[in-house]
Amino acid sequence: MLSSKMEEALNSQVNAELYSAYVYLAMSAYLESQDLQGMAAWMKAQAQEEVAHAMKIFGFINERGGSVKLAAIAAPPTKWDSPRAVFENAYKHEQHVTSLIHKLVDLAIGESDHATKNMLDWFVDEQVEEEASANATVQRLKMIGDHAPALLMLDRELGQRRAGEEE
Residue 39 maps to which CATH number?
1.20.1260.10
Dist CA 76 CA 45 (whole Å)? 17
- Tell me if 167 is assigned to some domain: no
Decide: helix, strand or coil at residue 68.
coil
- Tell me if 106 is assigned to some domain: yes
Can you give the pLDDT at residue 110? 98
Backbone φ and ψ for 69, nearest 5 degrees, come out as -125, 105
In angstroms, the Cα distances linking 158 to 20, 70, 79, 134, 154 are 19, 32, 20, 11, 6
Can you give the pLDDT at residue 166? 52
Under 8 Å between Cβ of 14 and 61: yes
Can you give the pLDDT at residue 165? 53
Can you give the pLDDT at residue 162? 65
- Tell me if 131 is assigned to some domain: yes
Decide: helix, strand or coil at residue 60.
helix
Can you give the pLDDT at residue 161? 75
Backbone φ and ψ for 71, nearest 5 degrees, come out as -120, 170
Can you give the pLDDT at residue 164? 55
Give the total number of structural domains in the chain. 1
- Tell me if 163 is assigned to some domain: no
Can you give the pLDDT at residue 62? 98
- Tell me if 23 is assigned to some domain: yes
Q: H helices of 34-113, where?
A: 37-63, 83-110
For 27, the domain range is 4-158
Specify the long-range contacts of residues 163-166, CB closer than 8 Å, at least 24 apart.
Answer: 163/44, 163/45, 163/48, 163/49, 164/45, 164/48, 164/49, 164/52, 165/45, 166/129, 166/133
- Tell me if 74 is assigned to some domain: yes
Average pLDDT per block of 10 residues along the chain, 167 residues long: 97 98 98 97 96 98 97 97 98 98 98 98 97 97 96 95 58
- Tell me if 164 is assigned to some domain: no
Decide: helix, strand or coil at residue 61.
helix
User: Which amino acid is residue 38, in one-letter code?
Assistant: G
> What pTM was estimated for this model as a whole?
0.93
- Tell me if 166 is assigned to some domain: no
